[in-house]
Structure 1
């Protein structure tokens, strides 16, 4: 492996947070807009309130997604996620959490992604220091997922 590959194995997974009106079909319309542009949603987390819904999405093509949102006037924010591939969803969760705890790295939020093409579970986490968390998880031997791994 060359030095560049070792230092930069891939782009961070990007998550979009979108504020949607709390009405029937709003999320489906958003997913349909993306799908009509050959973009698939591979991760989703929804936080509902009376007035609005915050949808967090991980997609197969974040660059085009950002362009669509800007063209359509859809307000959004984006952030980087640490994504770990798990051989076994249940038993591997605790070692992931323990590794981050020992490194004294906080997890702001986490949720599961849809299974990968090989059927493995994936855990997406927003951490306080992405680069540090990547280093810690690599040293601990965990399989990290990058945006290129999600683009189908």
Structure 2
């Protein structure tokens, strides 16, 4: 007996590269010299770049969070390496020109009563402007709020180093 045979409902989900959130990978590394280097080397020769990085050190391990230029291929590389990973969605937002651009982003999120859980800058400058990756408690509301306030949201396609001029990659 086949469940759902002939039904038009798709049971698989697919996430296109135009999905507005950007994916963060968190891995847990033993607190030993060279552990981060081993992970970074996994991307050598693949054309995948690490575009943002955050490290939180604990007594026994380190939590390494990063964004990469090709999340789908990057996840495969990390999984093949046998690393335990957690995938999370973040909002990428381009910082506006003018004084205190981060203040403007924080104010917009505060007005929507959204808390920022994590934030860190991107190593690259999509569209030639500085940008940050932000984890919030309600990503859909955050993207809607920021878009309505005129902020430019960074997508995974924007992180593709092949789409950027060399001066916009650090």
Length-normalised TM-score, structure 2: 0.79
Unaligned 5+ residue runs, structure 1?
Answer: 1-7
State which of 54, 77, 87 in structure 2 corresponds to 1:78.
Answer: 87
| Alignment root-mean-square deviation, CA | 1.9
SS in 2 for 1:114: coil
**Map of 2:58 onto structure 1:** 49
Matched, 1:148 2:157: yes
Matched, 1:10 2:18: yes
Contact map agreement 2:27 2:86 (CA 8 A) in 1: yes
**Map of 1:96 onto structure 2:** 105
**Map of 1:37 onto structure 2:** 46
Contact map agreement 2:126 2:154 (CA 8 A) in 1: no
Which structure has the highest helix share of the two? 1
Moved over 3 A (4+): 87-90
State which of 137, 143, 147 in structure 2 corresponds to 1:134.
Answer: 143
Unaligned 5+ residue runs, structure 2?
Answer: 1-15, 162-170
Contact map agreement 2:91 2:139 (CA 8 A) in 1: yes
Length-normalised TM-score, structure 1: 0.88
SS in 1 for 2:42: helix
Which structure has the highest strand share of the two? 1
Give the aligned length.
Answer: 145
Contact map agreement 1:88 1:121 (CA 8 A) in 2: no
Partners in 1 of 2:126 and 2:156 — Cα distance? Answer: 14
Of structures 1 and 2, the larger Rg is shown by: 2
